[in-house]
Structure 1
Amino acid sequence: MKPIVAIVCDTNQQGPHIYHQVGDKYVQALVRCADVTPVLIPALENPIAAADIFAIADGILFTGGYSNIQRHHYGEEPAPEGEHEDPRRDKNTLALVKAVLDAGVPMLGICRGLQELNVAMGGTLYPRVHEIEGRMDHREDKNAPIDVQYGHAHAVSTTEGGLLASVTGESRFMVNTVHGQAIRDLAPGLSIEALADDETIEAVSVDGAKEFALAVQWHPEWKAWDDQPSTKIFNAFGDAVRGHKTKRTL
């Protein structure tokens, strides 16, 4: 049996109904590049206990999403009316991040997942990084074809000797950019793994983590099998998950 990676769902209101959902691109990347079995975890009002998730899961993926973390979680005033938020996901993921690190379960964070890691550990965010002087607009053009939206947009430079540099074997490579928020104050216990040329933090790792704990701001899951750094990130995560499963079964 292949190892299992749990993914906490987004919630989405469609008419009178609430749906729990995960983008197919994350599932495909896990199956094709990490060689694991994805399992979706609903974002319930009363979250499933972390211990129950860890009883079946050998790793956790914190995905990106169209919603933003509610600003009160990092000390900001509420967002303007109409901003897409997902309080149920916040309630589930922010607590789960801490439990994952305490339990030593391998984790990979992507986009919103990086922001969740930073906020859960006491860091803050720029709600709209494109409004900060000197920063580029990291958002996608929603009118462009999807392959353009998720195409390479800028370079990142990895930290010498860091986890990401070790995983990818690269000091600098191109990534896509599909986000409006970004790390402002780095949380205690996190280290920078990559920066964009405008100094936006693009990847972080957890200091002294018991297992693989990496998060990136871009979207390596998008056709990960066609992009060498992305493939290597998911390969490394899959290897960590397999190693964790082996230790659990000894």
Structure 2
Amino acid sequence: MMTKPIVAIVCDTTQQGPHRYHQVGDKYIQALVRCADVTPVLVPALDEPIAAAAILDLADGVLFTGGYSNIQRHHYGDIPAPEGEHEDPSRDKNTLPLVRAVIEAGWPMLGICRGLQELNVSLGGTLYPRVHEIEGRMDHRENKNDPVEVQYGPAHSVTVKTGGLLHKIVGEQEFMVNTVHGQAVRDLAPGLTVEATAPDSTIEAVSVDSATNFALAVQWHPEWKAWENTQSAKIFEAFGNAVRATQRA
């Protein structure tokens, strides 16, 4: 009997008192287990990154998660962030080259929130460091004083590109999503196609033109109770199917 395929997840790094931790939010793991039916494996974000080839030898797909940190601005040619902004240089050092390696190898990948931003930056795109400060844009951040169910509840609609990858997965041209992010795509990287937008024109989903396998990234958080949301479950199921096909191949 074939074992379940493996999906690699690069960890965030955090400091807990004097101790450094590598960690991944439980919601991503639960969505992979319950909706994609795969085995998640956590990859530490080491200062000397584990080689992409070693990760791809181990895993049949890669999930690039959201996170509380922002990508360091020098990666997309912007000035340094103000002092005190939460960044995770170790994650950047690991994920940005891994994105390119996954695409080149033809492995399935799913990006969520920060993961979409990593995909865009790794291929040469730029970000709005604070999209809520841009005239005409919504404030896409959550109210941290709200209960978590409210923070991750439906916040705005997305309009899906007809006939695109996301449209083929969810079978809908418009649906509601949550919104829990401060950064967003500014200049779309060459080779990416917009799959969905928010009412304020913020890019909400992209796919990779040259990808030979599943390569989708979304700006919202479909992992949040994915098994209770039709569109989210379909996204993770499609990713899981691609990972299983890669394992069989």
Tell me, yes or no, whether TM beats 0.5: yes
- Residues 170-205 of structure 1: CA distance to partner in whole angstroms, max 9, x if unpaired? 100000000000000000000000000100000000
Give me the whole-angstrom Cα distance separating, in 2, the residues matched to 1:191 and 1:33. Answer: 26
After superposition, residues 41-190 of structure 1 pair within 5 angstroms as: 41-190=43-192
Give me the whole-angstrom Cα distance separating, in 2, the residues matched to 1:187 and 1:56. Answer: 28
Give me the whole-angstrom Cα distance separating, in 1, the residues matched to 2:178 and 2:107. Answer: 27
2:8 pairs with one of 2, 6, 15 = 6
- Residues 18-73 of structure 1: CA distance to partner in whole angstroms, max 9, x if unpaired? 10000000000000000000000000000000111111100000000000000000
TM-score of the aligned structures, taking structure 1 as reference length: 0.98
Percent identity among equivalent residues?
Answer: 76
Superposition deviation, residue 84 in structure 1: 0.2
Could you tell me which runs of 5 or more consecutive residues in structure 2 were left unpaired when the two chains were aligned: none
2:224 pairs with one of 211, 222, 228 = 222
Give me the whole-angstrom Cα distance separating, in 1, the residues matched to 2:172 and 2:88. Answer: 35
User: What is the number of residues matched between the two proteins?
Assistant: 247
Q: Give runs of ≥4 in structure 1 deviating > 2 Å.
A: none
One-letter amino acid of the counterpart of residue 139, structure 2: D
After superposition, residues 183-198 of structure 1 pair within 5 angstroms as: 183-198=185-200
SS in 1 for 2:8: strand
One-letter amino acid of the counterpart of residue 66, structure 2: G
Superposition deviation, residue 210 in structure 1: 1.0
One-letter amino acid of the counterpart of residue 10, structure 2: V
Give me the whole-angstrom Cα distance separating, in 1, the residues matched to 2:241 and 2:147. Answer: 33
One-letter amino acid of the counterpart of residue 58, structure 2: I
Could you tell me which runs of 5 or more consecutive residues in structure 1 were left unpaired when the two chains were aligned: none
Superposition deviation, residue 208 in structure 1: 2.3
One-letter amino acid of the counterpart of residue 172, structure 1: E
